[in-house]
Amino acid sequence: MLPEHQLRESLSRLPLVAIHGPWYRLVDFGDLLTGPRGTPGPQWLWASRQAQRFTAPNGARTLYLAADPYAALLESETLFLDRDAQLVRRSFPPKVLFSVEATVANVLDLTDPAVQAALGTTVQELGGPWRTTPPGILAPTQTLGRSAFDCLRIAGLLAASSKRGESRSVVIFADRLADHPPSQIEVVGIDGARLP
């Protein structure tokens, strides 16, 4: 990954795409009742400031969605596959899978090899382990996410699923949607569940 100052320069001129269609999100059933860590209202579905692959701790509010239900289950670590890609049987707390209609303009496509080259990164770096980064240091993908959010022209990131490479994940910057019409996100089947 390029150093942060070079990342910002590169992000200011890379081409952006729009995403459309159904995406999927898995939510803990308990969060439907209380919201994650006590968050009130429909915020349980939306963005979090928790450290994630492309989100620095206490960073931008981000919403992670998967391109298919199976990827959502794998990405949330509800399902696991062994080395032979066989499903590992295990217990897990109740989960709820949501279908989300999303149209988001100005998304950076990290699956594009030309974009990866311009950012000085690789598929391995974008999808590799990020939790092993020492405390107080951002993972390269978190630095990328922070730089993309700060760029203002970018509303989200499209990436290969780290758990199901043939699928895609989208990382949406919740606080950028209003700045990038006609972006909107709506939960299928729940009236009024729309972001922002």
What's the first-to-final CA gap in the chain, in angstroms? 31
Is the pLDDT at 151 greater than 90? The verdict is yes
pLDDT computed for residue 44 by the predictor? 47
pLDDT tens for 158-174 read 999 887 777 899 999 98
The listed range with the strongest mean pLDDT (9-23, 64-78, 181-195) is 9-23
Of 101, 119, 195, give the one whose Cα is nearest residue 157: 119
pLDDT computed for residue 181 by the predictor? 86
Enter the pTM of the model.
0.87
For the CA atoms of 26, 32, 35, 36, what is the dihedral angle to 10 degrees? -30
User: What confidence tier does 20 reach under pLDDT thresholds 50, 70, 90?
Assistant: very high
User: What confidence tier does 192 reach under pLDDT thresholds 50, 70, 90?
Assistant: low
Of 99, 115, 98, give the one whose Cα is nearest residue 157: 115
Owner of token pair 């890379």 = 14
pLDDT computed for residue 9 by the predictor? 96
User: What confidence tier does 124 reach under pLDDT thresholds 50, 70, 90?
Assistant: very high
State how far the alpha carbon of 10 is from the alpha carbons of 62, 70, 75, in Å: 22, 33, 28
Give the domain ranges of the chain.
Answer: 4-195
User: What confidence tier does 193 reach under pLDDT thresholds 50, 70, 90?
Assistant: low
User: What confidence tier does 55 reach under pLDDT thresholds 50, 70, 90?
Assistant: very high
pLDDT computed for residue 164 by the predictor? 75
Between 128 and 80, residue with greater pLDDT: 128
pLDDT tens for 80-95 read 777 887 778 788 888 8
- Under 8 Å CB-to-CB from 49, ≥6 apart: which residues? 55, 57, 58, 59, 60, 61, 62
- Tell me the pLDDT of the chain averaged across its residues: 86
Between 89 and 20, residue with greater pLDDT: 20
